[in-house]
């Protein structure tokens, strides 16, 4: 999933607000530091998912002739490859 920088900022704002409103969460760092950590985490997660997508694209390209020959569902294969690559990386989709 691709998110614009403004969407990442919006999500970081919303998450920080929810944390501040939750009586069970007590921030021990400055709010700006927490916000930056949230935004950086979202961005890192997006980057990891994009790397997984690129690996899946390579796998599909490597097996393109077999996929065409056997008339396999590319969408289903993409989902399966993505789940497998993510699992190997320890990434939760």
DSSP 58-79: HHHHHTHHHHHHTT--HHHHHH
pLDDT tens, position by position, 26-49: 999 999 999 999 999 999 999 999
Question: Is pLDDT at 1 greater than 90 in this prediction?
Answer: no
Q: Read off the DSSP letter of residue 53.
A: H
Q: Quote the number of domains for the chain.
A: 1
The three-point CA angle 22-24-29 to 5° equals: 85
Q: Identify the domain containing residue 80 by its residue range.
A: 5-89
Rounded to whole angstroms, how far apart are CA atoms 83 and 32?
Answer: 34
Over residues 5-12, mean pLDDT: 96
């Amino acid at each position: 999933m691709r998110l614009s920088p403004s969407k990442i900022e919006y999500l970081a704002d919303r998450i920080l607000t929810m944390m501040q409103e939750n009586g069970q969460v007590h921030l021990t760092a400055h709010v700006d530091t927490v916000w930056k950590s949230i935004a950086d985490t979202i961005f890192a997660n997006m980057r990891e998912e994009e790397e997984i997508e690129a690996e899946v694209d390579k796998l599909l390209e490597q097996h393109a002739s077999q996929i065409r020959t056997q008339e396999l569902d590319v969408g289903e294969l993409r989902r399966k490859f993505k789940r497998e690559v993510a699992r190997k990386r320890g990434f939760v989709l």
